[in-house]
């Protein structure tokens, strides 16, 4: 009997791991993002300074509000993935949208992603590293860009997703607004790929 319980527990764990490893589907479809292993890429931006035991929470009150960083790109860059760490997700399911915007000289900004880049997270009480991979690599030219995420929907009795807090000048774009409002914290969203020479 004990052996049967151990076997069932192993099969459930294996099925949960396999589900988490699914590839992300684009064009508005949503699936869980993949847990990442360590790989070598050029980084377009730094995460900032990590503050131990501090978190940035996304919950029902922060829906549709982008949090992200300005990135200075000095040479053409091919983006392969966006990566982030989630401290814990106590929500049963949370759906996020990633934005990549070009900042013009007059401060206006325009979305560069032709198709919505949506991803979801299931409940996990352990810290996890994740990445979101575009269907094809995104090439950006020298200039200033805004890269951030917004919570679209969240489900669960405890509807909250917590990211590690990093000290770094960042910007919030509130719902139904185009104004970039400065804040002094970030979730450590990183952009990886390769420089094009």
- Which pLDDT value is given to residue 161? 96
Paired strand residues for 193: 42, 79
pLDDT digits (tens, 9 = 90+) for 83-130: 899 999 999 999 999 999 999 988 899 899 988 899 999 999 999 888
How many other CB atoms sit within 10 Å of the CB of residue 93?
17
What are the helix (H) ranges across 63-136? none
- Which pLDDT value is given to residue 32? 42
pLDDT digits (tens, 9 = 90+) for 166-190: 999 999 999 878 889 999 999 999 9
Closest CA to 48 of 101, 100, 85: 85
Element (H, E) at 122: strand 117-124
Tell whether the model's pLDDT for residue 24 goes beyond 60.
no
How many CA atoms within 13 Å lie on the side-chain side of 190?
A: 19
- Which pLDDT value is given to residue 88? 94
pLDDT band at 30 (very low <50, low <70, confident <90, very high): very low
- How far is it, in rounded angstroms, from Cα 77 to Cα 193? 7
- Which pLDDT value is given to residue 40? 61
Residue 31 CA: distances (Å) to CA of 28, 60, 157: 10, 20, 21
């Amino acid at each position: 009997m004990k052996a049967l319980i151990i076997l069932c527990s192993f099969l459930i764990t294996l099925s949960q791991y396999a589900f988490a490893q699914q590839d992300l589907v684009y064009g508005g479809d949503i699936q869980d993002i993949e847990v990442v292993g360590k790989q070598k890429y050029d980084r377009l931006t730094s995460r900032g300074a990590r503050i131990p035991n501090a978190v940035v929470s996304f919950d029902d009150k922060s829906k549709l509000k982008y949090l992200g960083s300005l990135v200075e790109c000095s040479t053409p860059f091919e983006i392969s993935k966006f990566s982030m760490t989630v401290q814990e997700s106590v929500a049963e399911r949370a759906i996020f949208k990633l934005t990549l915007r070009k900042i013009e000289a007059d401060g206006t900004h325009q979305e560069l992603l032709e198709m919505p880049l949506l991803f979801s997270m299931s409940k996990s009480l352990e810290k996890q590293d994740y990445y979101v991979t575009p269907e094809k690599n995104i090439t950006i030219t020298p200039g200033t860009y805004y890269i951030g995420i917004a919570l679209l929907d969240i489900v669960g009795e405890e509807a909250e997703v917590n990211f590690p807090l990093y000290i770094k000048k960042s910007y919030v774009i509130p719902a139904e607004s185009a104004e970039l409002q400065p804040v002094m914290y970030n979730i450590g969203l990183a952009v990886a790929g390769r420089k094009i020479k």
